[in-house]
Amino acid sequence: MRHHLRRQLRRLTADRQYQVVAASAATLMVASGVGVGVAVTGDGSDLDQPTPAAVAEQAPYAGDLPARAELSAPQTPAPSLTTPAPTATARSQSPAPTATASSATSTTAPAADLTRTATPKPPASRVLDHDHQSQITYYYCGPAAVRNALSAMGLARTQDDLAVRLGTTTMGTNSAADTTRVLNQVVDGSPYRTTMIPGNAATTAQTERLRADLVAAVADERGVVVNVAGTTTDLAGGWHSFPGGHYVAVVGYRDDGRTVKIADSANPAVPTYWLTVGTLADWIASRGYSA
């Protein structure tokens, strides 16, 4: 009996050791992820076979486990094979240059200056109002002509005052250069110039120059003084003769200067008359005028 008990005790001891070892192995297998479950009976005489359900609960099958490289390396998406189109923002960062008026490379011709206006054309006819006065001595034709021309501009001067300025003597006034000088002393801006017509008759060019000068001066409201010599006939048939020389004023024109109005201080009965510009040019020949 004692022998039987001792043998049962040894068997229990051996079975207990086997159960501990088996349990430890099962635990180790579960912790390592192998996925094998072991069921131990109470007496350890038989072991249950591993079941697929127990394995599924412990870990995925080996075929479903990720590779070591996949677990350790960051997952980078594959690069796209297409290039995205530039966005509107990218285009707006580099706007196309715009042309400016101050560009140094501009080839545009400058615009015409529209503020400048052409010089107005003189009227076809113009006659100036003047305060006519006959000469007070036989040799004062020079001072009287200058005085009448100045009166057309509203400038009043006496014949005696002008005679002193002109250097007039009983022999008269020397030349048109003197009348130009005195006119410029009185009129602001010194607009007068002396033009001589040498010879016994005026040329066509000299006549045209006289016409242009007379129109320009009278259109500017300035009377003109001319130095004449010889005999001429006006458009009304009047006869005017000054062999030793004479001074008269021009105070108007008609037909674009083809006829001119003369203010003559010699004869109070005929203070003014009209001449053609050609007749006047020939009358001035060998002398000159201030315009």
Rounded Cα gap, residues 83 and 240, in angstroms:
106
Looking at residue 62, its pLDDT comes to 36
Burial class (CB in 10 A: 0-12, 13-18, 19+), 166: buried
Query: Tokens in use for 11?
Result: 């068997």
**pTM for the full predicted model:** 0.61
Fold adopted by 126-290: Cathepsin B; Chain A (3.90.70)
Rounded Cα gap, residues 291 and 223, in angstroms:
8
Using pLDDT thresholds of 50, 70 and 90, give the confidence band for residue 125: very high
269: Cβ–Cβ under 8 A, 6 or more apart, which residues?
none
Judged against a pLDDT cut of 50, whether residue 245 lies above it is answered with: yes
**Mean pLDDT across 208-218:** 98
- Which sequence spans correspond to the domains of the chain? 2-67, 126-290
- Bridge partners of 289, per DSSP, are 195, 226
Which stretch of 17-31, 109-123, 166-180 has the lowest confidence by average pLDDT? 17-31
More confident site: 14 or 123? 123
Judged against a pLDDT cut of 60, whether residue 100 lies above it is answered with: no
Quote the distance between the C-alpha of residue 123 and its chain's center: 36
Which percentage of the chain shows pLDDT scores above 90?
58
Using pLDDT thresholds of 50, 70 and 90, give the confidence band for residue 10: low
Angle in degrees, 0-180, between the axes of helices 176-186 and 159-166, rounded to the nearest 10: 120
**Mean pLDDT across 182-210:** 97
pLDDT digits (tens, 9 = 90+) for 39-71: 333 444 343 444 333 333 333 333 333 333 333
**Mean pLDDT across 242-253:** 98
pLDDT digits (tens, 9 = 90+) for 258-277: 999 999 999 999 999 999 99
Q: Cα–Cα–Cα angle for 261, 119, 254, nearest 5°?
A: 15
